[in-house]
Amino acid sequence: MIQESGSLTLRVSEVFFSLQGESTRVGLPTVFIRLTGCPLRCTWCDTEYAFSGGETRSIADIVSEAERHDTRTVCVTGGEPLAQKNCLPLLTALCDAGFDVSLETSGALDIAPVDPRVSRIVDLKAPGSGENARNLWTNLDHLAAHDEIKIVLANRADYEWARQIIAEHHLNERCAVLLSPVQGQLAPADLADWIVADRLPVRFQLQLHKVLWGNMRSR
């Protein structure tokens, strides 16, 4: 309950309202709650400003701000949200408040304790990320149909790795699988052509917010 967890605090980099730019929820008006801190350093990271800083805020305050926006869709992101232990009660508080909640996580930390009402958008780090060794493979056993796997690809070698992993672990039978090109490194049309040629059972995605607004923060 919010009453029980409301006084707990987290470090928060920003809370903003925009369109969801990724996942199967792309295009939906969404409140984004970006938590501070991340134990990973992916080579293509576009939110390095969330590694440190932020402000300390209570769960009650965060939920209250989310409620001021006229939407029920909330995304908790980072950084790596699960690096803060109070992310778990925040997710539960948001669900209890009636929000449709998604969590964007690196896939390096255990997703099992996350409230089952939350849609978990779980990264698998390809070799080009520089953090491939951090993938927590046991997370695959906890995926539900409303969760999603996201793999960001920097080159053809990353694509071939992803293709192998998808087949080896039958990922498309677990939940939606999304492949994205690293901006400025892999041409979107090339990735699209590879997916079509291989009839890969995935969803191709671009980061809609970057198509619309470039690399502008809080969009």
Average pLDDT of the segment spanning 32-45:
95
Q: What's the pLDDT score for residue 200?
A: 98
Better-scored residue on pLDDT, 177 or 21: 177
pLDDT score at 209: 73
Distance CA 10, CA 81 (A): 10
Contact 90, 78 (CB under 8 A): no
Domains along the sequence of the chain with CATH: 2-213 (3.20.20.70)
Q: Give this prediction's pTM.
A: 0.93
132-157 average pLDDT score = 97
- 24 by Cβ neighbours in 10 Å (0-12 / 13-18 / 19+) ranks as middle
pLDDT value of position 6: 81
What tens digit of pLDDT does each residue of 160-186 get?
999 999 999 999 999 999 999 999 999
The pLDDT of residue 105 is 98
Whole-number pLDDT of residue 218: 61
Nearby residues of 68 by Cβ (< 8 Å), 6 or more positions away: none
User: CA 211 from chain center: how many Å?
Assistant: 18
Confidence at 210, pLDDT banded by 50, 70, 90: confident
pLDDT tens-place string over residues 63-110: 999 999 989 999 999 999 999 999 999 999 999 999 999 999 999 999
- CA angle 184/188/192 to nearest 5° reads 155
